[in-house]
Structure 1
């Protein structure tokens, strides 16, 4: 399903994404890193991760073009098999990998994968955020590590189909601009923790066929359907909106509008939702604060009523002093 097209058909198109300037800058930096057949990139890989290996004098950069994403995935697997058997430095530029997500294959495209002379595989992430005085933004490095961990899992699935299966390194190479220049610098990032967390999350996901089994017969998510029919189809799939969805899901704006219309407290954030216990709507929260509903022994209800009393006292004091009342 094209979620972006689906969201647009629902009248809530996604607006998140990288700015055009940042996109162009990132592409220009990546092109510089991979110039001359990836000579600079492979030099960084050897110096950072494999200093004992022979220098990559004549690296191989196989052609990965093929018809369609599935054709590219098959061509990538073939190139990995050939490079591992050849025992020479090989750079795969934008390979296509597949990862099983809840029983459905998700196609992934890392920046690069390097095959070492000893047959091991390394994921390379190229980012345009700078490394200033030897350090980079920890949040951005963490996001890059989580992204690379997904690629490592996908590579491991590919490696498992080879005999014998080659080793997929859990130390990836992160390449960034150095200081305020456009010169690349590299560092090794251990993604074992991120890989383990991602693997556990994938193992707990509800499988696609199980979700499909709960849907009404004949449900369809085609963007060409009438708006009412399409909305009903989307509503057939349970979803819990949270503000964090805005940065990751194309349907976030649609779900936010539905959550606000229903008065769901999840629209205020997961932390607020957790603090409110069994109170799931804004109307329930306000009624509990006014003493019109809710169990007085419930800690969330008791805290709301105490907050309401303190607010009423503050408003009364401000009114007596002639100050502007709080909104």
Structure 2
């Protein structure tokens, strides 16, 4: 199979018929063998019924329905697991991404050797409340990840070699940083392509302002896991040792100061009467705890068997 199109959706019943017909038209025009995987992320409208109806007229459509809303990352992760195409295309279900971009994206991956091609919505039809924070996050992500050639990490329209989607795990809000996950997994040929962005035709956006906080926290998680998942002691250990040594030398200094005062017969204060002693004690405790945290983390696998288990109601 040439292409798998993975589309996560939540309350997008109105746009699905037009979107799937648009995809079908593009695929047949270029003689691609394909499948469309529609992942219903617990929609409360008639999205699932629409998917069932669409499948009757197009056998290339596969529908997956979650029992409740898990989020876009969960939907993508399940879609990636189900994808069988040599190239996997992801796009949003709101008709703001154009299926006409698929042939060029496919060519970049299949024939030009890209591991991942991320779309760049150079001209966006979104309000400033969405575009300005997005630019900030993209800038921070470029700096922290070292992927300097991408302008828009969170564009829903992307193309992947099948090995990429089978090698990464997307959870939480990690869908915003899939290029970073791909890089940490060893896929370094990450490219960008300018894509057309359309105004939303139906409904409203499903993402609130809380996504920015979650996204930033997940970026920190990616940074930590990518660099220290196999060696957490290299993160906690140095900080713990430094903190412990600072506390130890402060305590040693206070004790030596008292002993010298006793030897010289000059007035002195008890070590425990000085505020600096309690700061040194705190530093020793924090250092010990950080060191033990790193040691324990070395013994515990970061992969939980329950992380990506979702209650799927049915698959058709």
TM norm structure 1: 0.25
User: Does 1 or 2 have the higher relative contact order (CA < 8 Å, sep 6+)?
Assistant: 2
